[in-house]
Structure 1
Amino acid sequence: MIDFTHDGHIHTPFCPHGSTDALEAYVKAARTRGLKTITFTEHAPLPAGFVDPTPDQDSAMSLETLPEYLDQVARLKQAYADVLDIRVGLEIDYLPGFAEETIALLEPFANRLDETILSQHFLLDDGDYLPVDFSLETFDVLVKRLGSFEAVVRAYYESLEAGLRFEWERLNVRRIGHLDLPIKYEKQYDWEREHVKDIETRLLRTIQVRGFGLDLNTAGLRKVDCGKVYAEAVAVDAIALGIPFVLGSDAHVAMDVGRDFEDIQKKATFR
């Protein structure tokens, strides 16, 4: 059963590639849309040895700003406690080769985190970290290097499956973010999901065994080359495995909080 009054994936002005909308603006938008619970999940700081491969190197907040982020959301939680359940969390990147460093970096803050998301925005190929969702141009580099769109999706699933062997519970990870992020650009390619169904099924079973949920992420609806909810295509199989879903707008601006939730609620899959 999905809680349509909870937006579990929201960014903030602490996001270097987001907006300058104040935290209060996100709260106002949530209340306007009738939400009862919101979870702020700002992009967690990246480990020192990792060099952000995006052209703008703006994928995550710095470690220096993390305490301020936590403090500001804590104040917001208290200020609006009577009208809205506000939770503080992070969107943590699984970086192949840097998982242990990431956990060590963020574990000192774990006792202040209500819930976190584990996501993957980069793939490691032949020693290079390549962005998955920065732009169509950078994604096409991945397709050309790996050979096909299906090969990118397969590599994405395989990488995430490998990443789940680490102790993410130490950082209060509750769910996996936008499980099928590569479909952000799927309209530009011909591909068949059946060609990756085996690894998709294996990944879902690994997620089930680990006890994690999934982020049912509406941001894909707002992407011109996608037009789909991230993780919707795996919903039937995930539900059959007992994997819980939490809706997430992946809002990077206040106006997107809770966006498209009403449309998702109408879909028979989630009734």
Structure 2
Amino acid sequence: MIDFTRDGHLHTPFCPHGSSDSLEAYVNRALGLGIKTLTFTEHAPFPARFLDPTPDKDSAMSVESLPLYIEAIQKLKRSYPELDIRLGLEIDYLPGCESETLSFLEPYADILDEAILSQHFLLVDGELLPVDFSAESFDTLVRRVGSFEEVMRRYYTALAAGLAFPWERLKVDRIGHIDLPIKYQHNYTWDRSNVQAEQTRLLQTIATRGFGLDLNTAGLRKPDCGQAYAIDVATEAAALGIPFVLGSDAHVAIDLGAGFEFIQKKATFL
């Protein structure tokens, strides 16, 4: 069963592409909604040799910010003992940089409560391209690989391959927005049945590895998407015994818990 009093995917003022909303604003929003468990999952810094391929170079917090982020969440825990506040990271799966990511972040693993592994970039002909930066950059990706469905296939295939690495060493327990490319799905004609084989292989890999899924409501707030990330794979995932953690992926305090009531009413797989 899904815990609707838990928001397991939250960003903070340490996010370069987020907002300046304070951590206290997130807490006050949670208290107002009756949400009792908050996991802050700020974008983890990248390994030194990785160059952010987005135009704004703002995909993750800096190395210098990481200790400040950790200290801020730990202070928040002490200030609000009535809430279950968890220190987490959203860690990028970076094809070709898996070992560097593991070794770079492992010194912080003992401090973390949990982490999400997400894929925001796709390797195409040796070049990492952003998946969710903008509709324009995504269309470049589609044109490079040939179709929206081919983006989905490659996205699923890449993530399945990446799960061969020991992400548990970084406290990863679930996969973030498993079908992130659908952020722009309304701009294309596609049929999910045409990527079913790759979807099933990925879900089987996730189940075998014992990971859960981030049931991410951010897609409901994206005009070219219109649905929660992972909702279309939820029935198959549930049949494989994969657990879900509801997450708003909020980058502003007002979005904490956003869409949870919709999921509670519509999610027939619960």
* TM-score, length basis structure 2: 0.99
Deviations 1:46-80 (A, max 9, x none): 01111001000000001111011001100101110
User: In structure 2, what is the equivalent of residue 122 of structure 1?
Assistant: 121
Structure 2, unmatched stretches of 5+, are none
User: In structure 1, what is the equivalent of residue 68 of structure 2?
Assistant: 68
CA distance in 2, matches of 1:44, 1:75: 19
Alignment of 1:83-122 (within 5 A): 83-122=82-121
CA distance in 2, matches of 1:100, 1:63: 17
8 Å Cα contact 2:29/2:253 also seen in 1: yes
User: In structure 2, what is the equivalent of residue 159 of structure 1?
Assistant: 158
Per the alignment, in what secondary structure is the counterpart of residue 266 of structure 1? helix
8 Å Cα contact 1:264/1:270 also seen in 2: no
Deviations 1:239-269 (A, max 9, x none): 0000000000000000000111011111241
CA RMSD of aligned residues (A): 0.6
Deviations 1:2-41 (A, max 9, x none): 0000000000000000000011001111111110101000
8 Å Cα contact 1:9/1:248 also seen in 2: yes
User: In structure 2, what is the equivalent of residue 52 of structure 1?
Assistant: 52
Name the amino acid aligned to 1:173: V
CA distance in 1, matches of 2:85, 2:269: 24
The alpha carbon displacement at 1:138 in A equals 0.3
Asked if 1:258 corresponds to 2:262, the answer is no
Alignment of 1:31-42 (within 5 A): 31-42=31-42
User: In structure 1, what is the equivalent of residue 15 of structure 2?
Assistant: 15
8 Å Cα contact 1:149/1:189 also seen in 2: yes
CA distance in 1, matches of 2:78, 2:266: 35
The alpha carbon displacement at 1:220 in A equals 0.1
* TM-score, length basis structure 1: 0.99
Per the alignment, in what secondary structure is the counterpart of residue 48 of structure 2? coil
CA distance in 2, matches of 1:108, 1:62: 16
Name the amino acid aligned to 1:93: D
8 Å Cα contact 2:238/2:269 also seen in 1: no
8 Å Cα contact 1:235/1:269 also seen in 2: no
8 Å Cα contact 1:10/1:40 also seen in 2: yes
8 Å Cα contact 1:92/1:119 also seen in 2: yes
Alignment of 1:118-157 (within 5 A): 118-157=117-156
The alpha carbon displacement at 1:270 in A equals 4.2
Deviations 1:179-213 (A, max 9, x none): 00000000000000000000100100000000000
Identical pairs, percent: 68
User: In structure 1, what is the equivalent of residue 43 of structure 2?
Assistant: 43
Alignment of 1:182-197 (within 5 A): 182-197=181-196
